[in-house]
Structure 1
């Protein structure tokens, strides 16, 4: 008892610090590479692809089928749009805490609990009977799917040797994660069929069950556990959760309810800004912060953040552009399957094209090629008409999808290298940058794109209506032609006349929508060109700085050489 009460003096000061619940331990370093057989390595890569597709397809099922889901739930399309917001709210910030949870409780346990939770939520989906239960399930589904993106990365990197982790693993896993929502658009029409949302639930449950089997059959190696979570981490995360969640809700629903029509959107934005400001203030005054705000605000990291956010906004043209334009023109989801099949193939090809050439010094070249492709694709789309069909946009949309993977993987490579150079603790800060720009950037980009479309459509429709007057001989002639074409279906001349006028009004509305989307496509083209010019100027500045350094160093060497020659 006496020995136990008198610990070694040399350890007396260290032991209380390790037990202090307010001081986190350093994040563990990555485990050394352990070679695997070719078959087992292939199994881990396949598990990564399956898990990445599982979470992406589940998200795509919700965003793709809002109108059909609204009908199944007996809700309006506006009410059903809350399902997407409920799914995205936890995903925007939960990954910030998941890395510390993984370090504290072990990687293997983290993987097992994550996939079991996802399977449980997939089973809960069969209990949906109204909008409220659907919202609750979608919120938990967003929480349960957040760890799957991390698991997809970990399973892809586990079997690869260090030289191939970034060169092969990073492009493949990013292409896989991007592929999921696109495949959801390809699979949805066949799965919906006569069963409605039930078919999507069955598919999600099946994918979750396969993921569960893979996680238990192929365990991940777990680094030593450390006590990574301290109480103030939870306070900071809660504020970030409120801030990111509020921004997600505002930008997803803002263009639907319209920004100035309802007061609660403004209050949500105010609360979000206050919560994020409080989180930044707390983190700046912590000795062991959850996020290193000072590092995140360095010029290099700010440049990376703006680049990722800007690119995500530009890519919103593909998710919020072409599909919604065709929907406004009466094109069904089934008719869009070939278009999204091409987009899916282009996404995979973009990841595969990086593998032979992936190197840190080639990142600017990849970004230049990606921006050129996006600018060209958006410019081609900006010439759409009411007669445009999905097959006519396959090339332009395929170029944009190819550019998406070509841009994202090199950008993440640069960020990871900057974080690893400073130590494992900085990986968490970079992951926050990457995921927040992707999750929030997607919501913000879609909200801005939809807002521009609605505003421009109303403007174009007003101009068209001013030109469409019954006194115009061309309008009167068109009404007469359409009315005569309806003679076989409608006997009453007055009803035929009214129906003909309604058809012309619908045509004008469609024309206004197409003109609005053309404006948005052209704006995307201009943003891509601006980003390309900014990148080229940045590279030119770096080149001039390097030349100036060499030139300024040369004269300083010349006198010493001359003096050396003059010495006897």
Structure 2
């Protein structure tokens, strides 16, 4: 076999794309092993960022950072992770799966070790950015391993299962991270991740992926596109994160970053539009059906942001921390596992819209149930609503991506475009969700606060009695009546702010319920249209990809 070029494959073993593994028949025991390794690698890929995202408040002290500064850690990860598939797909195609696997597994382990030697915020941000690069490779590797566990007719179920497993790291982080922080603060989190990474690396080296084809993939202009697109996406991620935290119109550099990101991304698209063999197929990405699928991916990330922005934010507004949320996220974890099992077992490749609509309807109902919270609500009252969101998310995401991958299999040249589209919608969709919901919550909190304060008057006997009771709590420490009255007024103000926040979070839950309900209505409407008005053609058999070396021209 030549350095670059196809090899002869049995029809049932042929890789779907250059750079992907072949698919030989495996024994049942080996399929189970591939599934277990794939799940372990997938969880490992997302766990590092999940541990940071779940513990931003707790990491401020060890790293000596304010809250706005500590948000650079998850943002740095997204800044690099969202655009790396521009190069990683072609890296696999040109250098082969073995080099890809061994290099990025070793890199991920080294970067996890580097976290143990972080001494301040600056070095932590640098390590998190590098982790985003390796994490993008690990996510793909986990998918490849999981797919080996399924035969060709059921391979779409492997995609659903892998995407469901990819949703598990965040609830896992909430379940275990409190004990890890008590063990060793920042280093406790990454000692845990290092252990899992070492186990995953040992499993990957012991159970290798089947070989695939290699082709000469890189072209010189690819690197120009990446040099424009990657910083553009990075600046957009910074804008989405800090626009909400520093407020959109109060900080000049946020506007500058947004303008620069638009210029860079548009410039990268222009370069791709003028190439004979583009890295990104903009015409394919601008297709109406692809745009609808991409919008669906973004919307589901917005809805799932409810768990981190809505549920967790409200619990923290009520004075709870991660220790009190362990059982809640255990419920979410179990519900998500149940959702991916149901989706993988019941989804029909010819009817992919049904599980999407059902998943969205369940998420809408869960968010609506959560909207009845009050200041006495505790995690126990949110088990049902948050469990429904986890279950519905697993039901929705897999079938949606399967429908998108089907279009890529039919046109293998669009593999890079698909990888970038999926990565960008997942990463940037999460930031859009956090930014949108966080901004909406602040806006509604100000509204509710103004309404509540408007009805508070010291001339009202009930208000006066409330101030007096609040001040009486300080009677032993303050002999001055005026001082006690001041403390009573401060206690009343804090209670008013808390109630305004709870009302605002209820509005956030209602917004999420409305988004999911409208999306579900559209999906069911689309399914009815295809069934009764415009029946779709039966799926064509999976074509065999053309693995002939491409001409290196631009």
Do they superpose with TM above 0.5?
Answer: yes
Equivalent position of 1:138 in the other structure: 128
SS at match of 1:377: helix
Distance 1:254 1:498 in 2: 35
Extract unaligned runs of 5+ from structure 2: 6-15, 538-554
Q: Which of 151, 160, 164 is residue 154 of structure 2 equivalent to?
A: 164
The Cα offsets for residues 453-496 of structure 1, whole Å up to 9 and x where unpaired, read as: 11111222222222222222111011122333443454443333
1:548 Cα deviation (Å)? 13
Query: 1:381 pairs with 370, 375, 388, which one?
Result: 370
Q: 1:481 aligns with which of 450, 458, 469?
A: 469
Provide the aligned C-alpha RMSD in A.
2.0
Contact 1:381 1:521 survives alignment (8 Å):
yes
The question of whether the paired residues in 2 share the 8 Å contact of 1:57 and 1:180 is answered with: yes
Q: CA deviation at 1:283?
A: 1.2
The answer to whether structure 1 residue 418 and structure 2 residue 407 are counterparts is yes
Q: Is the 8 A contact 1:27 1:226 kept in 2?
A: no
* Shift, 1:27, TM fit: 5.6
Q: Which residue of 1 aligns with 2:382?
A: 393
Which residue of structure 2 lines up, in the alignment, with residue 50 of structure 1? 40
Q: What is the rounded CA distance, in whole Å, between the counterparts of 2:118 and 2:444 in structure 1? A: 38
- Count of residues in Structure 1 that have an aligned counterpart in Structure 2: 523
Contact 2:307/2:386 (8 A) holds in 1:
yes
Q: How far apart in 2 are the matches of 1:532 and 1:172? A: 22
- Is 1:524 the counterpart of 2:512? The answer is yes
**How many Å apart are 1:382 and its aligned residue?**
1.1
Distance 1:349 1:156 in 2: 18
Counterpart check, 1:244 vs 2:233: yes
Task: Give the 3 Å change call, closer, same or farther, for CA 547–418 of structure 1 in structure 2.
Answer: closer
Partners of 1:355 and 1:127 in 2: how far apart? Answer: 41
What aligned pairs does 1:384-463 form with structure 2 within 5 A after superposition?
384-422=373-411, 424-463=412-451
**1:343, 1:398 within 8 Å by CA — same for their partners in 2?**
yes
1:273 aligns with 2:262: yes
Contact kept in structure 1, 2:175 and 2:326, CA below 8 Å = yes
Residues in 2 aligned to 1:410 and 1:181: alpha-carbon distance in whole angstroms: 21
Per-residue deviation, 1:68: 1.2
How many angstroms apart in 2 are the aligned matches of 1:485 and 1:68? Answer: 30
After TM superposition, give the deviation of residue 144 of structure 1 in Å.
1.8
Query: Aligned match of 1:314 in 284, 300, 303?
Result: 303
For the pair 1:188 / 2:186, whether they are aligned, the reply is no
Cα deviation digits, residues 215-239 of structure 1 (max 9, x gap): 2111112312211111111111222
**Preserved CA contact (<8 Å) 2:23 2:210:** no
Aligned to 1:365: 354
Q: What are the Cα deviations for residues 278-320 of structure 1, in whole angstroms up to 9, with x where unaligned?
A: 1111111111111111111112111111121122222211221
The reply on whether 1:295 has 2:313 as its aligned counterpart is no
Secondary structure at the residue paired with 1:355? helix
TM-score (norm: length of structure 2): 0.91
CA contact 1:35–1:159 (8 Å) conserved in 2: no
- 8 A contact 2:82–2:420 mirrored in 1: no
Q: Work out whether residues 19 and 90 of structure 2, in 8 Å CA contact, stay in contact via their aligned partners in 1.
A: no
Q: Does 1:500 align with 2:453?
A: no
Cα distance change on mapping 1:405 and 1:548 into 2, 3 Å = closer
Q: CA contact under 8 A between 1:58 and 1:181: conserved in structure 2? A: no
Q: Provide the C-alpha distance between the structure 1 equivalents of 2:534 and 2:399, rounded to a whole number of angstroms.
A: 23
SS of the equivalent of 2:424 reads helix
- Report the CA distance between 1:245 and its aligned residue: 1.1
Greater helix proportion: 1
TM-score, scaled to structure 1: 0.89
**In the alignment, which residue of structure 1 is the partner of 2:113?**
123
Alpha-carbon separation, structure 2, partners of 1:547 and 1:101: 40
The answer for the alignment partner of 1:22 in structure 2 is none
Q: Check the 8 A contact 2:77/2:129 in 1, yes or no.
A: yes
2:326 to 332, 337, 357: 337
Give 1:21's aligned residue.
none
Structure 2 equivalent of residue 468 of structure 1? 456
Distance (Å, rounded) in 1 between the aligned partners of 2:84 and 2:37: 23
| Cross-structure match for 1:233 | 222
Work out whether residues 22 and 210 of structure 2, in 8 Å CA contact, stay in contact via their aligned partners in 1.
no
Choose the corresponding residue for 1:94, options 84, 88, 91: 84
CA–CA distance in structure 2, aligned partners of residues 149 and 498 of structure 1: 55
Residue 219 (structure 1) aligned with residue 230 (structure 2): no
Q: Distance in 1 between matches of 2:536 and 2:50?
A: 51
Structure-2 residue corresponding to 1:542:
530
Secondary structure of the residue that 1:178 maps to in structure 2? coil
Instruction: Show the counterpart of 1:253.
Output: 242
Give the structure 2 partner of residue 67 of structure 1: 57
For the residue of structure 2 that corresponds to 1:39, the secondary structure is: helix
The answer to whether the 8 A contact 1:108-1:221 is kept is no
Contact persistence 2:20–2:213 (CA under 8 A): no
How big is each residue's C-alpha offset from its partner over 1:510-568, in whole Å with a ceiling of 9 and x where there is no partner?
1111111111111111112221222233334334534899xxxxxxxxxxxxxxxxxxx
Change (3 A) 1:159 1:401: closer
Asked which structure has the greater CA Rg, the reply is 1
Structure 1 residues 218 and 530: CA distance shift in structure 2, 3 A: same
1:112 to 102, 110, 119: 102
Report Cα offsets for 1:401-423 as digits up to 9, x if no partner: 1010100000011011111012x
**CA displacement at 1:119 relative to structure 2:** 0.8
